């Protein structure tokens, strides 16, 4: 389509579809990254089992820490995928708006999601370029990137140690580490029930022996 001064007018529907294509590519790339991390985790688990058989606890702990970090990364990537998908869904709404009104609609939801994605190293560069396109299209306002310092809770080290213990317990079938709190509670309850049953049995035996001696 030709606009003023002979310039080609870009079809907004095609622009939106191109954005959707890029978003789907990012989702696929992130899913592949998650798959690669999870396959690597399986290898590390086998290494932990081998080290546990040799009694090398220090190696087991180091390997378990790497699993803790990889699982954190996977969780972050899942969150990133969710945000990318929400933007893609909004692009679908944009197509509907174009069909109804003939124009694109500015979206605060997309703006917020893009602001978050610009802080994610894995997608930062792609999202920076995409945000420029969206700004030109009028979907979002220009984003001023802020340098955010990573702040972690004071008890992060303690929480990380708990995760290491859980992984060691999980991978070595209870030989190393500590069971998760829920399982510890369940095991403790079973132990208390067993002890109570033994105590009742002993009391019953003692009563029987006492009554037998009286009958004699």
Phi and psi at residue 198, in whole multiples of 5°? Answer: -65, -40
Residue 52 lies in a domain: yes
Both 123 and 186 in a single domain? no
Predicted local confidence at residue 144, as pLDDT = 80
Residue 150 lies in a domain: no
Of the residues 137, 161, 193, the one at which a domain ends? 137
The residue among 133 and 192 whose pLDDT is bigger is 133
Whether the pLDDT of residue 6 is over 80: the answer is no
Both 97 and 202 in a single domain? no
Whether the pLDDT of residue 157 is over 70: the answer is no
Both 102 and 19 in a single domain? yes
* Alpha carbon distance 41, 25 (integer Å): 24
Whether the pLDDT of residue 175 is over 60: the answer is yes
Residue 190 lies in a domain: yes
Residue 174 lies in a domain: no
Of the residues 82, 106, 137, the one at which a domain ends? 137
Both 92 and 187 in a single domain? no
Cβ neighbors of 116 (< 8 A, separation 6 or more) are: 83
* Alpha carbon distance 215, 212 (integer Å): 5
Both 9 and 96 in a single domain? yes
- Tell me the average pLDDT across 143-161: 62
Both 35 and 130 in a single domain? yes
Structure token digits, residue 199: 């105590």
Predicted local confidence at residue 149, as pLDDT = 52
Both 99 and 206 in a single domain? no
For 67-108, what is each residue's pLDDT tens digit?
A: 999 999 999 999 999 999 999 999 999 888 888 888 888 899
Residue 149 lies in a domain: no
pTM for the model: 0.72
Chain position carrying tokens 């978003």: 23
User: Phi-psi bin for 124: left (phi > 0), alpha (psi -120 to 50), beta?
Assistant: alpha
Both 18 and 101 in a single domain? yes
Residues of the chain with pLDDT > 90, as a percent, come to 44
Both 24 and 127 in a single domain? yes
Nearest one of 123, 143, 95, 145 to 23, comparing CA atoms = 123
Domain that holds residue 204: 180-215
Chain position carrying tokens 């969150």: 79
Predicted local confidence at residue 165, as pLDDT = 86
Both 89 and 14 in a single domain? yes
Q: How high is the mean pLDDT of the chain?
A: 81
Chain position carrying tokens 């209870």: 174
Both 126 and 60 in a single domain? yes
Residue 166 lies in a domain: no
- Tell me the average pLDDT across 130-136: 92
Whether the pLDDT of residue 204 is over 60: the answer is no
Residue 156 lies in a domain: no
Predicted local confidence at residue 161, as pLDDT = 81
Nearest one of 105, 41, 106 to 69, comparing CA atoms = 41
Residue 13 lies in a domain: yes
Whether the pLDDT of residue 198 is over 70: the answer is no
The number of distinct structural domains making up the chain is 2
Chain position carrying tokens 């009286």: 214
Both 40 and 125 in a single domain? yes
- Tell me the average pLDDT across 3-27: 82
Whether the pLDDT of residue 141 is over 50: the answer is yes
Choice among 91-100, 165-174, 207-216 with the minimum mean pLDDT: 207-216
Predicted local confidence at residue 215, as pLDDT = 52
Q: Which range has the top average pLDDT, 12-26, 88-102, 197-211?
A: 12-26
Of the residues 137, 153, 168, the one at which a domain ends? 137
């Amino acid at each position: 389509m030709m606009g003023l001064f002979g310039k080609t007018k870009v079809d907004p529907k095609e622009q939106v579809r191109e954005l959707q294509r890029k978003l789907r590519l990012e989702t696929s790339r992130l899913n592949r990254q998650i798959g690669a991390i999870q396959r690597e985790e399986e290898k590390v688990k086998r290494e932990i089992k081998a080290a546990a058989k040799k009694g090398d606890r220090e190696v087991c702990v180091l390997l378990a820490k790497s699993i803790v970090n990889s699982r954190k990364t996977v969780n972050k990537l899942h969150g990133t995928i969710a945000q990318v998908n929400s933007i893609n869904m909004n692009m679908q709404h944009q197509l509907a708006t174009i069909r109804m009104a003939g124009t694109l609609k500015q979206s605060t939801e997309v703006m917020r999601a893009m602001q978050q994605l610009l802080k994610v190293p894995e997608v930062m560069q792609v999202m920076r370029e995409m945000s420029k396109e969206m700004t030109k299209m009028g979907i979002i306002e220009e984003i001023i990137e802020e340098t955010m310092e990573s702040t972690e809770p004071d008890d992060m080290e303690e929480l990380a140690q708990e995760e290491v213990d859980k992984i060691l317990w999980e991978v070595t079938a209870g030989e190393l580490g500590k069971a998760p709190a829920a399982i510890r509670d369940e095991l403790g309850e079973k132990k208390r029930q067993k002890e109570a049953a033994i105590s009742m049995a002993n009391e019953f035996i003692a009563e029987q022996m006492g009554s037998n001696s009286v009958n004699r």
